[in-house]
Chains A and B, each alone.
Chain A
Amino acid sequence: MLATCIRALPDEGCGLLLGTREGIVVDVVASPNVAASAKVYEIDPKVLLRTYRRADDEGLEVVGVFHSHTHSPAYPSPTDIAQAPDPAWHYVLVSLAQVPSEVRSYRIADGDVTEELVRVEGVTGALGDD
């Protein structure tokens, strides 16, 4: 996720979280930010369609979304809260406003924001993987 967001600079970076119904994320799917902006993001609809189909094929679900804030904290903005598409999702915010970057996850339902713990297990692959 961090690599995706750094590569997207100066725009906000984004992508989808693919996982199990229990909230275990098994893969991260990077997406172009079709809003092409440093202030707003929109997941590429083609990536959305492809990821939903992959989820169906693999018995997984789209369980959330990540995006970066280039100059503000890793906390959902009023826009993030208003446009959160699914109350069952996990919303991961990556802040590139400071070093080190900050990654936090939230639930957003009915305008309420609750932070949740992120636990990383069984990391595989080279450093710098998405």
Chain B
Amino acid sequence: MSALLRIPTVLRPAMGGATSITVEGSTIGAVLSDVTSRFPAVKGQLLNDDGTLHRFLNVYVNDDDVRYLGGVEATVAESDEITLLPAVAGGAQ
């Protein structure tokens, strides 16, 4: 199952510089395994040690936020577009 993964600017240097890559996997978990096996340096920014999605990573499949679709269990269909969006957060505290 090949899909397109859009890479945010901040992760591009560690992922070969491309704005997007083709990825394999029928779930988000499988896709991120594909990504982290090819680019081990980004693993900590994508996944927690228990394999769940990093709290500050937003993942969209087309227009849907995967946290409402089962997180790493969310399914990925052929030609879907997956977007990784690191959260933008901070605060006075």
Is chain B a partner of chain A in the same complex? yes
Taking Cβ atoms with an 8 Å cutoff, the residues of A that contact B are 12, 14, 16, 35, 37, 39-43, 45-46, 48-49, 52, 61, 65, 67, 69-72, 76-77, 79-80, 83-88
Q: Are A35 and B89 in contact (CB under 8 A)?
A: yes
Residues on the A chain within 8 Å of B85, using CB? 45, 48-49, 52
Residues on the A chain within 8 Å of B88, using CB? 14, 16, 42-43, 48, 65, 85
Choice from A45, A71, A72, A77 contacting B65 with Cβ under 8 Å: A45
Choice from A45, A46, A86 contacting B10 with Cβ under 8 Å: A86
Residues on the A chain within 8 Å of B39, using CB? none
Number of interface residues of B (CB under 8 A): 18
Known: A46-B65, A86-B9. A79 touches B87 (CB 8 A): no
Residues on the B chain within 8 Å of A52, using CB? 83, 85
Per DSSP, chain B at the interface is: mixed
Closest to A65 in B: B88
Taking Cβ atoms with an 8 Å cutoff, the residues of B that contact A are 8-10, 56, 58, 60, 63, 65, 83, 85-93
In the complex, A77→B10 CA distance in Å? 21
Q: Are A40 and B93 in contact (CB under 8 A)?
A: yes
Least CB distance from B24 to A in Å reads: 23
Closest to B88 in A: A43
Q: Are B91 and A40 in contact (CB under 8 A)?
A: yes
Choice from A70, A77, A85, A88 contacting B87 with Cβ under 8 Å: A85
Closest to B19 in A: A56
Residues on the B chain within 8 Å of A42, using CB? 87-89
